[in-house]
Amino acid sequence: MTKQIRHRAVGKAIIPGAAMLTGFGGEALPLGLQGRTPVQTPYGDLPVSELTPGTLVETFEDGYKEIRAIIQRRAWASPSERCMEHWPFEIPAGALGNCEPLQLMQHQAVIYESDLVEKMTGDPFVLLPAKALDGYGGIKPVEPVGDQLVYELIFDHPQAICVGGGTYLLADDALSFEVALGHQKIVDNCKALSWEKARLLMKHIEAGTFAEGRAMVAAEVD
């Protein structure tokens, strides 16, 4: 991994105790890492729920970086919000370079790497919401079990971190939200795609229509 992640300043919309950010048409968007998500540290993978401020975590570009703070909150403010539209996505082992299965919230921004993406964009990496990968490599929504706590890791600068033994995702929830809405192009040499553009890209990948996919991505980042 050699790509540099650079972030614009984004006002954080999350405060301790808040459950969601509000996005598409005022819809509430669950965000955060589930407690059992394995995060790579110098001591091996540790569940997010066992991390503490001061723990070193593997990042996409900057090696191991220290967690400065952790925000913990409920994934859903009420049982009614655990509707199918808000179910997390199950990522089977190997689907995104991960050695272990993962569950990610729908609008979690992940780094997707593919030779086919490189043919379309000139770079093997794109940043996109997990929801856009529905159906790819067995990725699918799964019903959550009861109330869950989710966690946001805070660093000196927003980071993409390694989870599941090989998948990189943004640890900053507000930035994942911005990516899902298409408001931010925050990654140098790694194109950030909104949910709609990312879903269209995946359709082109599945169909093998590289020229159309290349034109679509170019239009997104211009």
Residue 65: pLDDT over 90: yes
Residue 101 C-alpha from the chain's centroid:
15
Confidence (pLDDT) at 21: 54
Query: Helix (H, G, I), strand (E, B), or coil: what is residue 217?
Result: helix
Question: Where is pLDDT greater, at 11 or 86?
Answer: 86
- 149 close to 73: Cβ distance less than 8 angstroms: yes
CB 86 within 8 A of CB 74: no
- Tens digit of each residue's pLDDT (9 = 90 or more) over 35-46: 999 999 999 999
Integer Cα distance of 134 and 136 in angstroms? 6
Taking the complete model, does pTM exceed 0.85, yes or no? no
Mean pLDDT of 80-99: 87
**pLDDT-based confidence at residue 206 (cuts at 50, 70, 90):** confident
Would you say residue 8 has pLDDT above 70? no
Assess contact for 171 and 156: CB atoms under 8 A: no
Strands 125-129 and 191-192: parallel
Instruction: For residue 178, give the 3-state DSSP assignment.
Output: helix
Q: What is the mean pLDDT of residues 150-168?
A: 93
Mean pLDDT of 47-76: 92
Round to whole Å and give the CA distance between 54 and 65: 9
| 8 A C-beta contact, residue 104 and residue 91 | yes
DSSP string, 189-215: TSEE--HHHHHHHHHHHHHT-HHHHHH
Per the model's pLDDT, the better-predicted residue between 161 and 215 turns out to be: 161
- Calpha distance 53→148 (Å, rounded): 21
pLDDT in tens, 109-156: 999 988 777 776 677 888 889 989 998 889 999 988 777 888 999 999
E-assigned strands of 48-206? Answer: 56-58, 64-66, 69-74, 89-91, 102-104, 109-113, 125-129, 140-141, 149-154, 160-163, 167-170, 191-192
